[in-house]
Amino acid sequence: MLSYPTAPKRPYEITQHGYTRIDNYYWMRDRSDPEVLKYLHAENDYLEEIMGHTKSLQETLYAEMKARLKETDSTVPEKRGEYFYYARTEEGKQYPIFCRRKGSLESPEEILLDQNILAEGKSFCSVGALTVSPDGDKLAYSLDIDGGEVYTLYIKDLVTGTLYPEFIVNTYSSVYFHTGVEWANDSQTLFYVTMDALERPFKLFRHRLGTDPEQDRLLLHEEDESYFLFIHKTRDDQYIFTNHHSTRTTEMWFLSADQPEGELKLLSPRKEGVEYLAAHHEGHFYIVTNDRAENFKLMRASVAAPGIENWEEVLAHREDVLLDYVDTFKRHLVLYERRNGLRQIRISTFDTATKVRYIEFPEPAYSVEWETNPDFNTDVLRFTYSSPVTPRSVIDYHMDTGQWEILKQDIPAGYDASQYITERIHATAPDGKQIPMSIVHKKDLKKDGNNPTLLYGYGSYGSVIDADFNPNRLSLLDRGFVFAIGHIRGGSDLGRAWYESGKMLNKKNSFTDFIACAEHLIKEGFTSNKKLAILGGSAGGLLVSACLTMRPDLFQAVINKVAFVDVVTTMSDPTIPLTSLEWDEWGNPQVREHFEYMLSYSPYDNVRPTEYPNMLITAGLNDPRVAYWEPAKFAAKLREMKTDDNLLLLHTNYEAGHAGASGRYDNLKEVAIDYAFLIDRLCTAQSPLEVDILKNVISTNSLTDG
């Protein structure tokens, strides 16, 4: 009879500021220790056994979600230069195929890169940078094959179809943010960023095609360990920008893309607490900044004299509007803003502030994401729109006329939007703040407290989780679930103050906001504490883990994805990637006040003997953002301390990192496990097999005892 895994206890003493903590599972940091993989494998085996009775449900869920995919599909072509670029998928294949056609969409297809071929024989495959040279003859792309987010850069000759002999290792790229690779306009020069030992992008190099990368010139070295170094090219292809980014401060340099051998010039020196981001338009930089403007304002400066002392105000600070981003086109200035927690797009001309148009969005909760829009001369803005009930739609918005043109809408097979409803409601936090929530459910839902409900949140780094459409979610909604997003403090939903009041010494507001959202859903009859589950990943994993240690009675089930749970220990160790950069987000444990505050909520440090909800915890063995040992340690300590018979499951993906499986079908299988866990815990009674296993647990069994 299978018993649950129990990790060996090896007490490790940590003393800070007069406090002594005993960490019985600190040893899990040592991947070379055979007990580490033994424990992780035992947990995976246990999950397979204990969830065995849900296999048919998992298969059903997977089949449902796969059926909603248009397996053979294509993105909307995007014109760049002479070519139309797009990515397409084929039935049965995990990854996209990147293609183009010259001149028109009727021209013969040219395959630039088939990721399925790159992934052959590999369990993980991520393409980071994917950028074609200005002359259209070369492709620079980068590849990560283990999920560690460290990429190797390759250059392909698109005329001959062969690779250049040189390749560059240890380069930065990201599926989340910047590519880290840009071409100069001569189509012979590449700029790229490399990583330091802590996997921080920190050095900018220039490479000439056909030369040895060992001879590449170092252009810039970001020595401050609290800063990341990113690069990008302006929309008009005039400049290469560097962006030196810390949590509270930014700095930019620029270089003419026509003069790749030239010297970088400083836009404006970094000033503690001042953030800015610039776009270029006809000899001027348009700059979004928080300098004496909490919600940011728009400034302008000439390229010849770009320092902050020369900035001129274009759009003043507004108390009720957060200015996120500026986009420049030949004839249009586009600003991405946020009002009342919702994305707004403001379009104007450059000659007068009176010619302003806001795009009108039709629903109370929605998501808008801008596309790359590579054509500087266009009058059309392309973005994607969705809501919890409206499938992802690619929109061409005609900036002069206000015409909204739907180019593509990804409607799942058999989907009927009229059967669902989305709402924007508010919960009241302990300090009286109104916390927005976006919810979606079937129209015939009864508010009798009996509906299984999944509450999702994040609440860190100022990131906003907008209410988008997810076809996978239909498998829950069609089984009577309510899905809710808590737009809690720590995000920037309601402005920069909303972020500031949910970080560092205000971090607990994120947790109490989320708890208030859960309580409101119960109070309003959507669900009960026996039907309520919460979900969060990464910093959102910290959120749900802190909530379950604060209020374990409030939830029936918790899914912690790659959860950041060992806050004090991780933030005390600058050898761990991202640590020093994030002291301005969480606090620096070297400061006693920060240490004591973090210790008061750190989930790992606040596990106590009590009953906890059912839990599914995940980790990625190659995760550079949240090391595998944090979820593993959390699971081990919970097993040691908890007094209930509720499920505690830990799943480690040995072949992936922070984002989980890279293939689209493999990803669906991971979602199917999550959903099967939720349905099993919230909608069905325990199976006879599970009851039998739980009754026969030998709690003293240790892995070291065999």
Which residues are known to be catalytic? 538, 623, 658
Residue with tokens 């220990």: 569
Structure-token pair, residue 191: 């700029």
DSSP-assigned states of every residue in 328-383? E-SS-EEEEEEETTEEEEEEE-SS-TT-EEE----SSS-EEEE-----TT-SEEEE
620: Cα separation from own chain's centroid = 15
DSSP conformational letter for 159: T
Residue 86 one-letter amino acid: Y
Phi first, then psi, for residue 615 (nearest 5°) are -135, 140
* Residue 649 contacts residue 47 (beta carbons within 8 Å): yes
Q: How far apart are CA 394 and CA 74, in angstroms?
A: 12
11-22: burial string, b at 16+ Cβ within 10 Å, e else? eeeeebeeeebe
* Residue 175 contacts residue 128 (beta carbons within 8 Å): yes
Q: How far apart are CA 99 and CA 93, in angstroms?
A: 16
Reported as half-sphere exposure (CB side, CA atoms, 13 A), residue 79 has a value of: 11
Sheet holding 356-358, edge to edge: 322-328, 333-339, 342-348, 356-358
3-state secondary structure of 234: coil
Which of 522, 562, 527, 528 is CA-nearest to residue 543? 562
Structure-token pair, residue 101: 């056609």
Q: Which residues contact 94 (CB under 8 A, 6 or more apart)?
A: 116, 119, 662, 663, 664, 665, 666
DSSP-assigned states of every residue in 121-153? T-S--EEEEEEE-TTSSEEEEEEESSSSS-EEE
Structure-token pair, residue 159: 């005329």
Residue 659 one-letter amino acid: A
Which of 260, 323, 259 is CA-nearest to residue 286? 323
Q: Radius of gyration over alpha carbons of the chain, in Å?
A: 26
* Residue 33 contacts residue 12 (beta carbons within 8 Å): no
- How far is CA 156 from each of CA 117, 160, 187, 454, rounded to the nearest angstrom? 15, 9, 12, 45
* Residue 429 contacts residue 435 (beta carbons within 8 Å): yes
DSSP-assigned states of every residue in 587-653? --TTSHHHHHHHHHH-GGGG--SS---EEEEEEETT-SSS-THHHHHHHHHHHHH--S---EEEEEE
Q: How far apart are CA 453 and CA 43, in angstroms?
A: 27
Reported as half-sphere exposure (CB side, CA atoms, 13 A), residue 694 has a value of: 16
Long-range CB contacts (within 8 A, 24+) of 316-321: 317/292, 317/293, 319/295, 319/495, 320/495, 321/295, 321/495
